[in-house]
Amino acid sequence: MSTHLTPSDRTFMKHFAIMIAGLAATAVVLAIIGGVVYSFEPSPQSEAKTIEASERITPVGAVYAGATGRAAMQAAAAAAAKAAASQVAYGGTTDGKVIFDQLCTTCHTTGAAGAPKITDKAAWAPRIAEGIATLIKHAEDGYTGPDGNHMPARGGNPALTDAQIEATVKWMVSQVK
Ligand code: HEC
């Protein structure tokens, strides 16, 4: 047997060498990508972080048990009720003037944002002609007039109830009639 390489052997060796070089290059590229991806992975969570997280969710996940548990639950309920009460706008009053003086006045006394002034009978006449129900609905849902002036829903205070809005609109209308 001769060790002499035929031309087809040479061609094979050349192609084989190119293929090996290509695979080596691919391996290097993959190693680099792997390194980059790993660098973006969050490091294993430390114990301190785990404790901090469990402390953060405690009020939600707490279990109330026994006599102390009952007291804690009642305290939590009382706190929740107090928080809910503070969501009642202006003490829940249905005195339209009181509500107007605390909120609506910011625009409807000065005419800010293009609001019809509470003293401007001419500006209110065509609005009143639309009917009180429409005015109340516009005050509740918000309304953008033909001139692009915007009345925010509930004057911007979502805690105002429908009854409070109705009382305030009626009071306003009584002032400009
Ligand atoms: C940030 C300013 C602003 C506040 C606060 C505000 N308004 Fe208005 N309001 C407007 C503007 C502007 C218009 C006029 C919109 C238009 O071009 O028709 C308007 C229009 C109205 C109208 C007439 C709607 C219609 O159909 O013509 C009523 C009623 C009204 N407001 C009630 C209230 C009440 C009640 C409050 C308080 C709870 C209030 N507004 C607070 C800006 C305000």
Mutate to test the pocket of ligand 1, among 108, 136, 150 (most ligand atoms within 8 A of CB): 108
Mutate to test the pocket of ligand 1, among 103, 105, 107, 141 (most ligand atoms within 8 A of CB): 107
pLDDT at 78: 75
Does 156 sit in the ligand 1 pocket, CB within 6 Å? yes
Does 158 sit in the ligand 1 pocket, CB within 6 Å? no
pLDDT at 143: 95
User: What pTM was estimated for this model as a whole?
Assistant: 0.63
CA of 122 to the centre of ligand 1 (A): 15
Atom of ligand 1 nearest to the CA of 155: 41
| Lowest-confidence region among 84-88, 136-140, 160-164 | 84-88
17-46: pLDDT as tens digits: 999 999 999 999 999 999 988 888 776 666
Give CA separation, 45 vs 42, 48, 66, 99, 164, in Å: 8, 8, 34, 52, 52
Residue 14 has pLDDT above 70, yes or no: yes
39-89: pLDDT as tens digits: 887 766 666 777 777 777 665 556 666 667 777 777 777 777 766 666 788
Atom of ligand 1 nearest to the CA of 103: 37
- The encoded tokens of residue 18 equal 């190119």
Residue 1 has pLDDT above 60, yes or no: no
pLDDT at 89: 86
| Lowest-confidence region among 2-6, 89-93, 116-120, 171-175 | 2-6
pLDDT at 166: 96
Would you tell me which CATH number, out of the four given (1.10.1380.10, 3.40.50.20, 1.10.3720.10, 1.10.760.10), belongs to the domain 93-176? 1.10.760.10
- Give me Rg for the CA atoms of the chain: 37
Domain map (residue ranges) of the chain = 63-90, 93-176
CA of 115 to the centre of ligand 1 (A): 6
Give the Cα separation of 83 and 85 in Å (integer). 5
The structure tokens 């007039």 sit at: 145
Nearest CA to ligand 1 atom 2: 107
